[in-house]
Structure 1
Amino acid sequence: MLFLIIIVIAFVFQLFLPWWIISPIAFGVALWKANSGAHAFWSGFFAVFVLWILTGLFYTIPNGNILANRVGAMLGLPDITLNWVIVLLITGIIGGVAAGFCSLAGYFARQAIVIPNKAGI
């Protein structure tokens, strides 16, 4: 559920806001909904990873992968026809790590604010 909430809200907000909007979205959603640290991190990571891979495919396939191949050449990747796949994976990993750590921070912020009552009182 956390995965779907992050991916939908991030998709909508990234249509008209900068790329870094994934950070406060992942933080806020994990602050509200995450069950554990691992759940928060991996949900944030995979939500943005999938979102950015799909968005990259949406933009790169119609133009014949020209821009992605040029970015791959700038990064010093070997001159192969699948540079665009490597560029998309790098992009997804970078966005996923950023969102994953922000989600984890949101979960830990909730743990710091809400102290569970272990005595049952």
Structure 2
Amino acid sequence: MKLIVRIIVIGALTYFISPFTVWWSVMVIAFIVCYTSPSSGLNAFTAGFLGVGLVWMGHAWNIDVGNGSVFGNTIAEIMQISDPILLVFATGLIGGLAGGFASLSGTTFRQLFVKQKKRSLYN
């Protein structure tokens, strides 16, 4: 349940804040969200990857549809890619990796300051 909440929070903040700020602000958002809510490394990476990646893919698709795929076809032709929709997936992958690693960094940075519980043999 916490994973879904993190994905929604990261995605919503990315959607509303990223058009007005620099591109790397999504990494700050993912870092802060996963720093403030404790989680495991894989959980944090997944939340950041999906939260940012889906929003970036949606933005790229919206831009591509908005201009009739003229820009996408031109860039795909320059990069020698057969299908311009691959650019949308590449944008989502790049944004997802940026958000995933920022979330993982937030969780790891939190673990530096949190005292670990001593494990007993009975737990």
Query: Normalization by structure 2: what TM-score?
Result: 0.87
Mapped pair 1:56 → 2:60 = yes
> What's the RMSD between the two structures over aligned residues?
1.5
Aligned-partner Cα distance in 1 for 2:65–2:56? 14
Aligned-partner Cα distance in 1 for 2:115–2:88? 41
Equivalent residues, number: 116
Q: Tell me the percent identity.
A: 30
Mapped pair 1:3 → 2:7 = yes
Runs of 4+ in 1 over 2 A off after TM superposition: 116-119
Q: 2:74 aligns with which of 70, 75, 88?
A: 70
Structure 1 contact 2–34 (Cα < 8 Å) conserved: no
Aligned-partner Cα distance in 1 for 2:85–2:72? 8
1:117 counterpart SS class: coil
Q: Partner of 1:24 in structure 2?
A: 28
Gaps of 5+ in 1: none
Structure 1 contact 44–103 (Cα < 8 Å) conserved: yes
Q: Partner of 2:87 in structure 1?
A: 87
Question: Given residue 6 of structure 1, which amino acid in structure 2 is its aligned partner?
Answer: I
Question: Given residue 71 of structure 2, which amino acid in structure 1 is its aligned partner?
Answer: L
Mapped pair 1:101 → 2:114 = no
Q: Partner of 2:116 in structure 1?
A: 116
Partner deviation per Cα, 1:85-110 (whole Å, 9 max, x = no partner)? 10000010011001100100000001
Displacement after TM superposition at 1:33 (Å): 1.5
Aligned-partner Cα distance in 2 for 1:47–1:86? 19
Aligned-partner Cα distance in 2 for 1:73–1:18? 27
Question: Given residue 81 of structure 2, which amino acid in structure 1 is its aligned partner?
Answer: L
